[in-house]
Amino acid sequence: MEQRVSDTGYQERRRFPPVLLALMAAIVGAFLLVSFASVDQQNAIFYALALIPARFDATSAYHFAAWYDALGPLFGHVFLHAGLLHIGMNMLVLLQVGPWVADRLGPSRFLTLFFLSALGGALAYILINAHSEMPAVGASGAICGVFGAYFLSVRRSWREALADPAVRNAIGTFLFINVFLAGIASATGFLPIAWEAHLGGFVAGGAAYLALGPRVPRGPWG
């Protein structure tokens, strides 16, 4: 019998772990604080926390004054968004698989995976766009990492997950939309989507799950 890619039991038991709600509250709260700040304050915050590849270039005039200043953008970009639609879409997408991954990993490991995914997305964006002055903000790279972890957790082991055609098809569809189509939208100027962060975050999240995930999980797809 062909197996479905969703599971009624999972939907019925779905809940929202406090760590996920706290993370979302922090992201939304930061967005609101920045929104109510003055224009000068907003510009200063974005310059300090947005991902600007040129700032990581030692030969650039925008280079960080000290190495530890780079830590702000590498993680702080998660808490900046370009508008209500941007943050709204990110939070809705996080709610799709965030509850399952947070429940499987527990609070500390979930946060570790989330911010490692953010780091992976940031590094991918910086490396692929070396010397660029185009800033990138948002939690989408980290959220793609949560999806990477989710796809590896939907079977009893990550090996079984990757061996399942249904899982591989879902991964392919996810990457097609969030990397390939997002890349086309960015290249054509239709939408300024940082597809590089999506790809880097997805890979980092999957790798982090291999290290942090439970050894005998039961996936929501059966």
With b for 16 or more beta-carbon neighbours within 10 A and e for fewer, the 172-191 pattern comes to eebbeebbeebbeebeeeee
140 is known as an active-site residue: yes
198 is known as an active-site residue: yes
Query: Structure tokens of 50?
Result: 């947005």
Whole-angstrom CA distances from 202 to 38, 153, 174 are 34, 14, 10
Q: Which residues contact 136 (CB under 8 A, 6 or more apart)?
A: 50, 51, 77, 125, 194, 197
169, exposed or middle or buried, with CB in 10 Å at 0-12, 13-18, 19+?
A: exposed
- Pick the catalytic residue from 140, 153, 157, 186: 140
Q: Which residues contact 11 (CB under 8 A, 6 or more apart)?
A: none
- Adjacent-strand bridge partners of 51: 136
Instruction: State the Cα–Cα distance between residues 95 and 139, nearest whole angstrom.
Output: 13
- Adjacent-strand bridge partners of 136: 51
**Tokens 């911010």 map to which residue?**
115
The Cβ of residue 128 has, within 10 Å, a number of other Cβ atoms equal to 15
Catalytic positions, please? 140, 198
